[in-house]
Chain A
Amino acid sequence: MGAARAALRRGFDRAERGLDIAFGPDWNPLAQLGPLGWFLFWIVALTGVYLFIFFDTGVEAAYGSVEWLSTDHWWHAGVARSLHRYASDLMVLVMFTHLVREWAMDRYRGARWFSWFTGVPVIWFVYLSGITGYWLVWDKLAQYVAVTTTELLDTLGLFGEPIARNFASPQMLSDRFFTLMVFLHIAIPLLLLLAMWIHIQRISEPRTRPPRGLAVITLGALVAGSLILPAPLLGQADLAQVPQSIALDWFLLGLYPVIESVPAGVIWAGCVVFTVLLAGLPWLPHRADPPAAEVFLDHCNGCARCVADCPYAAITLEPRSDGAPFRFEVAVDPARCVACGICMGSCPSSTPFRRSGDLITGIDLPQRPLAQLRAEVIDAAEALAGPGRVLTLACGHGAGGAEARGRIVLPCVAMLPPSLIDFILSRGLAEGVCVAGCAERDCQNRVGAAWTKARFGRSRDPYLRARVPRERVLTVWAGPTEPGRLEAEVSAFSARLADMAPYGPVRQIGAEEKQEARAKAIGRSAAE
């Protein structure tokens, strides 16, 4: 499973690198699958409302109205119908790609189970919305869908009279049935919207809108595609006939040939097994996240930076409980914390310069406390030699995920307090620091790359101090298939550093201080 996941992840990374060239990292559609899903939903919803203006319910009227809007008014209502259909198809594609990608990125287990689990009903609601929509057109495809669906539903024995009987002959179908289908085709998408809303509840600042440029490109492509290949309309349904050859929508109706080919019991059992297995995937096997971040109230003034920076809404602001003269303190919900360390990087108390007492910050990672990180930096720096020494602080999910000399691998680069960069340079541990995050288009921890850029760019607290020479800090955003690029960039950076004049305000860290830092790291680990 691990090898399959790694191979798939590399495959995604390669494909995304290609799309980076076409769209740019910030508009890369593979990194915007969730927001694209939302965008497509709204296109489907709005075009659906528009189509409803012209749609008539009734055995004869339904097809007549769809034919009218597809032919006589193709230039607005017909295009809306094609948009409605193709956006729905793309939504299916986006949904499953999103699902596979999140699995490949291992972002579905541990504390992230909720988003995965609540995504499963979304799949069914998308299908049910699509199926009820096809029904309304009442062409031969609709007839095929109606008969096959009702025959399948009847095998459950829930209905007093087989509902497929409604489609046994033209005399048996009433206009009321279309009223019911219209109701279902409105109600189910509303339930879909509710499921989508629940799906994003356990993440902070959920992205429900793609970047404007990508939205314009997607909408433009959909409109152009709708004009070039308008959605087909088959002949009117005739219950005295059986549709023989059907132009099937393989995105939404791809299972219908299977429904026809295997016993209904197998279909129902398959649906149940698929749903249970998919929903249970976060526990097959369960991944125990590292221990959740821990708050040290003696070092927390309730500034709420960690609350704002946490990508998983795992940190909340609570009334102060320890009598300290602050209004608030923060609390971590261990069930939501993935131990990415972004909170530690955001805490103003996370300063590696401190020598008095233990190095404890306001919010720390029990498994990788700041004191240990400082000791790791000191140890890694000792492995560097020669001119142009570069210490690399790398994200474990990017190009620098493998251990290497002079490299410290972190769960997320936003775990770094910016003052650690200052510490490395001003204490002479290296001539330059390379911060190697994961691919720019999509951070493994959602916002780590964005917060790191903002902190370095001095637009989000805590700032990278102005005194830190920017020419001595290299940031590289590269995915797992780009270790070569990272190495090349670090080598070139090292060569540039070697040509630079020595960094002036360095106060070399002494042996005693190094020992002290290591001892404090051991002390923290023992305390944990």
Chain B
Amino acid sequence: MTGRWLHIALGGLVSLALVLAAAALSAWPSWQSLPAGHGVIRLSFTHSGARTCRDRSQAELDALPRNMRQAQICERRRPPVHVEMDVDGRAVLARSLPPTGLSGTGPSRVYQNFELPAGTYDIALRLRDDPALVGYGDAAEFRIDLAPGQSVAIDYDPGSGGFFIH
């Protein structure tokens, strides 16, 4: 075999070896994303802090045109939402979540993963969305049986009763 046929044969073998090497590297070696025997608890929600409002005085109302006389005046900026999470009584999260948006008018948000060994956990959650409040506006406790490789998502929605598990 000579000339071009030799190039086709030899070049073909080299190219095939390259493709097979690429195919192997395309799926091997595997990457262990999560340690064996672990699961994940995700705390994720978006929630706006309570608006900071006050009643207008009669003098203020009188100074306004009749069509603009709203009884309350509220700040555009939302206050931060404070959230805490304990796992088996151990604090794993205590954070003040600032509002989003350039003017701070958007909701506060959190997305946090907790990689834990499989097992049963007591989860306690507390949330305060109004800085004027003493204590917490919402709190919940869950017992979660976390299996290896399991993903448990905890969400928050005041309309659905506060914290809940998907």
- Say yes or no: A214-B11 contact (C-beta < 8 A), given A169-B151, A244-B34: yes
Number of interface residues of A (CB under 8 A): 58
Asked if B28 contacts A247 (CB within 8 A), the reply is yes
Question: For the complex, what is the distance from the CA of A217 to the CA of B6, rounded to whole Å?
Answer: 12
Closest chain A CB from B139 CB (angstroms):
21
B26 partner, pick from A22, A164, A221, A231, beta carbons under 8 A: A231
Asked if A86 contacts B22 (CB within 8 A), the reply is yes
Question: For the complex, what is the distance from the CA of A248 to the CA of B27, rounded to whole Å?
Answer: 5
Asked if B30 contacts A247 (CB within 8 A), the reply is yes
Asked if B150 CB lies within 8 Å of chain A CBs, one says yes
Question: For the complex, what is the distance from the CA of A220 to the CA of B106, rounded to whole Å?
Answer: 55
From B13-21, B69-77, B80-88, B129-137, give the one contacting chain A: B13-21
Q: Which of B7, B12, B42, B100 gathers most chain A CB within 10 Å?
A: B7
Number of interface residues of B (CB under 8 A): 47
Q: Restricting to A362-418, which residues have a CB under 8 Å from any CB of B?
A: none
A89 partner, pick from B15, B25, B44, B155, beta carbons under 8 A: B25
Q: Between A and B, how many residue pairs show CB distances below 8 Å?
A: 153
Chain A residues whose CB sits within 8 angstroms of the CB of B13 once the complex forms: 22
- Say yes or no: A229-B4 contact (C-beta < 8 A), given A161-B46, A260-B33: no
Asked if A268 CB lies within 8 Å of chain B CBs, one says no
From A234-242, A304-312, A325-333, give the one contacting chain B: A234-242
Asked if A323 CB lies within 8 Å of chain B CBs, one says no
Asked if A229 contacts B30 (CB within 8 A), the reply is no
Closest chain B CB from A474 CB (angstroms):
23
- Say yes or no: A228-B20 contact (C-beta < 8 A), given A22-B14, A162-B109, A217-B11: yes
Chain B residues whose CB sits within 8 angstroms of the CB of A220 once the complex forms: 12, 15
Asked if A232 contacts B111 (CB within 8 A), the reply is no
Chain B residues whose CB sits within 8 angstroms of the CB of A29 once the complex forms: 11, 15
Q: Which of B13, B19, B101, B155 gathers most chain A CB within 10 Å?
A: B19
Asked if B140 CB lies within 8 Å of chain A CBs, one says no
Chain B residues whose CB sits within 8 angstroms of the CB of A256 once the complex forms: 31
Question: For the complex, what is the distance from the CA of A216 to the CA of B26, rounded to whole Å?
Answer: 23
Chain A residues whose CB sits within 8 angstroms of the CB of B25 once the complex forms: 89, 249-251
Closest to A165 in B: B44
Interface residues of A (CB under 8 A from B): 19, 21-24, 27, 29, 82, 85-86, 89-90, 93, 144, 151, 154, 157, 160-162, 164-165, 168-172, 213-214, 216-218, 220-222, 224-226, 228-229, 231-232, 239-251, 256-257, 260
Interface residues of B (CB under 8 A from A): 4, 7-8, 10-16, 18-20, 22-34, 36, 38-40, 42, 44, 46, 100-101, 106-107, 109, 111, 113, 148-151, 153, 155, 166
Q: What are the 9 closest A-B residue pairs judged by CB atoms, nearest first?
A: A225-B19, A169-B166, A221-B15, A23-B11, A22-B10, A168-B153, A169-B153, A229-B23, A247-B27
